[in-house]
């Protein structure tokens, strides 16, 4: 008996999220169609000009904006950034370095530092348990 694998498809919003682009800035045919897993892989492996341009100049979705500014998505909202931004606007914000951005970057740095501390603590505990188990007790 042979199995027929159905083609996995996704909504354009899901595909745009996986590609790291703002859906409303994509071509109409992308927004109105469905994207198969194969098509998504092809777009990732060999992006067409529109995708390269969007990734380079934007507008970028919030997760990408947050990453480029080194803040959280919640930090963007607290700073009043609720709409997609272009690369040019992101670069301008970096140059302006407003108070809210400085504060959110500091918060994000603390969050990363705490995550590293917890990761190291958990790794040490796991190593302790692994070492303790070898005694045969």
| Structural contact between residues 30 and 51, judged by C-beta atoms closer than 8 angstroms | no
The one-character DSSP state at 6 is P
Global confidence as pTM: 0.77
Instruction: Give residues with Cβ within 8 angstroms of 40, minimum separation 6.
Output: 10, 15, 18, 19
Dist. CA 5–CA 128, nearest whole Å = 45
Q: pLDDT at residue 13 above 90? A: yes
Percent of the chain whose pLDDT exceeds 90: 85
| pLDDT tens-place string over residues 39-94 | 999 999 999 999 999 999 999 999 999 999 999 999 999 999 999 999 999 999 99
Apex CA 92: angle with CA 86 and CA 46, to 5°?
A: 35
Q: How confident is the model at residue 6 (pLDDT cuts 50, 70, 90)?
A: low
């Amino acid at each position: 008996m042979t199995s027929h694998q159905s083609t996995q498809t996704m909504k354009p919003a899901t595909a745009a999220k996986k590609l790291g682009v703002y859906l409303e800035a994509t071509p109409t045919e992308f927004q109105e169609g469905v994207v198969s897993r194969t098509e998504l892989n092809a777009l990732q492996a060999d992006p067409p000009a529109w995708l390269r341009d969007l990734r380079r100049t934007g507008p970028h979705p919030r997760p990408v904006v947050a990453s480029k500014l080194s803040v959280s998505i919640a930090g963007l909202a607290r700073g009043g950034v609720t709409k997609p931004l272009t690369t040019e606007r992101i670069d301008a914000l970096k140059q302006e370095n407003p108070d809210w951005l400085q504060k959110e970057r500091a918060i994000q740095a603390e969050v990363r530092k705490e995550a590293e501390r917890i990761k190291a603590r958990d790794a040490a505990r796991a190593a302790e348990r692994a070492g303790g188990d070898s005694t045969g007790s």
